Amino acid sequence: MSRLSASWIASLTALAAYGAGAAAAQTPPTAAKEESPPLKVSGSFRVRHETIDGQARAGFNSSDELINLRTRIAAEYDAGVLRFGGELYDSRAYHADAGTPLSTNEVNSLELVQAYVAADFDQPWGPGTKASVQAGRFTLNLGARRLVAADDFRNTTNGYTGIKLDGQWAGGVTATGIYVLPQIRRPDNFVSLSDNEVELDRETKALQLFGGLVTIPVSPDKAALQVSYFGLDERDQSDIATRDRDLDTFGLRYFREPAADTFDFDIEAFAQTGSVSASTVPAAASLDVSAQYLHAEAGYRWTSAWKPRIAFEYEYASGDETSGEYNRFDTLFGMRRAEIAPAGLYNSVGRANINSPGIRLEVEPSPAWDAFIGWKALWLASDTDAFSTTGVRDVTGSSGNFAGNQIDARVRYWLVPQTLRLETNLVYLAKGDFLKSAPNAPPSSNSFYAAFDITASF
């Protein structure tokens, strides 16, 4: 667990040298405001070393380590009426063996995730209105990102191919609509992934995502109401057997963003219906879906030196019961790091079969660094389904429903502002009776996960 590869050390050395050079090259900003150039280019290179002891997921190494490298280069050209953009991702992982949970969440080598054309329209419906349309390949972050997101903590991201429409009306009402084909990351077998092989991602009408959301300001104190709907239509492909998900997810959110000396809140509920196959076997029976999700959060931020914010949180995502319906909530393409837990080698807790109250403390002592620490108590919503994303299950329900206590912390520090940043993520999972006694629970100790990042940006 303590060994570091030569490539890891070389990467750190190169990044440190890059940061030193960037710091030396920085000059005070000029008073004159320059016109924005038509061509904008940006990018980043991130190195992450992550380790885990006491893996909670079934079927993997009890202890493991992985080195992730991620390079991003993005460009956008504003031609006046139209904007043309693209973004290249190169996500690679090293030091995996047969027991490592390596997947397309870690590896997607040399992929053009974005290649789009967009147009913006000023006052299409009168003063105070705006509209835009985007077509091609692009990333998406919609609403609170619980169903549709471009994951940033994860080594790879979610890409979508299709069309997106945005509108804004006088009074602050906004709306977004999408029809996209989620990009299927390739390759997806362990041998190819461990070799970081290059294979173009693909999109197909056998996997479609559509819908959107409307956000309405409802009070002078910046509270807002958000209504959403997303449909997912998935079918078998010639080389991919699926659960044939045909899902309709309806959402309602009431929220106020955190601000100084202000109470904030975020309550979002989803109801999910439709159908899903009982397994990936072509002749498997079709099951009706009835699943639910609730996020509730209330917090307060002070204006003292460290700008502390304390928040009480609650997550509920239904699990499958024995009723003949399918009750496990599907988070579609949502992110998890911002609210629940890291992905990567940990990846044990997500929006599925979870009943979890918690509390979080956030601080921002200066623009250079920020941190948080949080605690969650973890119960199963259904004691006959697998706990969250661990794969650990007791179909009899006799192993109880308490999975444990999770302590999660993150610290980020800018060595060179907006240029070179360090980040540390730590998670400790004190396993409860369920994760100790379920039939396929790993016979390991409590989980400890650590990830150390250094990111150079330009």
Query: What does the alpha-carbon distance between residue 115 and residue 312 come to, in Å, rounded to a whole number?
Result: 40
User: Chain-wide mean pLDDT for the chain?
Assistant: 93
Range of the domain at 228: 7-15+39-334
Contact 158, 137 (CB under 8 A): no
- CA of residue 169 relative to chain centroid, distance: 29
**What's the start-to-end Cα distance of the chain, in Å?**
32
Residue with the two structure tokens 């800018």 = 414
Looking at residue 20, its pLDDT comes to 40
Closest by alpha carbon to 153, among 344, 412, 328, 329?
344
Query: What does the alpha-carbon distance between residue 458 and residue 43 come to, in Å, rounded to a whole number?
Result: 5
Residue 184: inside a domain, yes or no?
yes
Query: What does the alpha-carbon distance between residue 457 and residue 226 come to, in Å, rounded to a whole number?
Result: 33
Looking at residue 239, its pLDDT comes to 84
Of 29 and 90, more confident: 90
Give the confidence band of 323 by pLDDT, cuts at 50, 70, 90: confident
Which CATH number is 148's domain given?
2.40.160.100
Query: What does the alpha-carbon distance between residue 372 and residue 380 come to, in Å, rounded to a whole number?
Result: 25
Query: What does the alpha-carbon distance between residue 439 and residue 114 come to, in Å, rounded to a whole number?
Result: 44
pLDDT over threshold 70, residue 16: no
Closest by alpha carbon to 57, among 95, 103, 100, 92?
100
pLDDT over threshold 60, residue 291: yes
Looking at residue 1, its pLDDT comes to 40
Beta bridge partners, 317, equal 293, 354
Closest by alpha carbon to 130, among 180, 173, 191, 87?
173
Contact 29, 435 (CB under 8 A): no
The mean per-residue pLDDT over the stretch 307-328 comes to: 96
CA dihedral 343, 349, 350, 352 (to 10 degrees): 150
Burial class (CB in 10 A: 0-12, 13-18, 19+), 82: exposed
Residue 240: inside a domain, yes or no?
yes
Cis preceding linkage at 187, omega within 30? yes
Closest by alpha carbon to 230, among 136, 140, 131?
140
Residue with the two structure tokens 């709907």 = 229
Q: Output the pTM of the full model.
A: 0.90
Give the confidence band of 24 by pLDDT, cuts at 50, 70, 90: very low
Looking at residue 34, its pLDDT comes to 60
The mean per-residue pLDDT over the stretch 355-372 comes to: 97
Residue with the two structure tokens 């056998």 = 206
Furthest-apart CA atoms within the chain: distance in Å:
70
Give the count of domains, the chain.
1
In one letter, which amino acid is 141?
A: N
Tens digits of per-residue pLDDT, 396-418?
999 999 999 999 999 999 999 99
Tens digits of per-residue pLDDT, 30-89?
444 467 789 999 999 999 999 999 999 999 999 999 999 999 999 999 999 899 999 999
Looking at residue 15, its pLDDT comes to 43
Query: What does the alpha-carbon distance between residue 112 and residue 98 come to, in Å, rounded to a whole number?
Result: 29
Query: What does the alpha-carbon distance between residue 139 and residue 160 come to, in Å, rounded to a whole number?
Result: 6
Residue 142: inside a domain, yes or no?
yes
Looking at residue 295, its pLDDT comes to 98
Q: What number of helices (H) and strands (E) belong to the chain?
A: 3, 18
pLDDT over threshold 80, residue 313: yes
Residue 310: inside a domain, yes or no?
yes
User: Of the ranges 4-8, 116-120, 336-340, 432-436, which one carries the lowest mean pLDDT score?
Assistant: 4-8
Tens digits of per-residue pLDDT, 212-265?
999 999 988 899 999 999 999 999 988 889 999 999 999 999 999 999 999 999
Of 15 and 148, more confident: 148
Looking at residue 36, its pLDDT comes to 79
- CA of residue 101 relative to chain centroid, distance: 17
> What's the half-sphere exposure (Cβ side, CA atoms, 13 Å) at 444?
22
In which element (H, E) is residue 190 found? Answer: helix 190-194
Looking at residue 162, its pLDDT comes to 98
Percentage of residues in the chain with pLDDT exceeding 70?
Answer: 93
Residue 226: inside a domain, yes or no?
yes
Looking at residue 283, its pLDDT comes to 87
The mean per-residue pLDDT over the stretch 144-161 comes to: 97
Give me the count of residues in the chain: 458
pLDDT over threshold 60, residue 210: yes
Closest by alpha carbon to 405, among 101, 56, 63?
56
Residue 422: inside a domain, yes or no?
no
Residue 29: inside a domain, yes or no?
no
The mean per-residue pLDDT over the stretch 177-192 comes to: 97
Long-range Cβ contact pairs of 246-250 (< 8 A, separation 24 or more): 246/274, 246/275, 246/276, 247/272, 247/273, 247/274, 247/276, 247/289, 247/330, 247/332, 248/272, 248/273, 248/274, 249/147, 249/211, 249/330, 249/332
Which tokens go with 200? Answer: 């173009």
Residue 102: inside a domain, yes or no?
yes
Query: What does the alpha-carbon distance between residue 419 and residue 410 come to, in Å, rounded to a whole number?
Result: 19
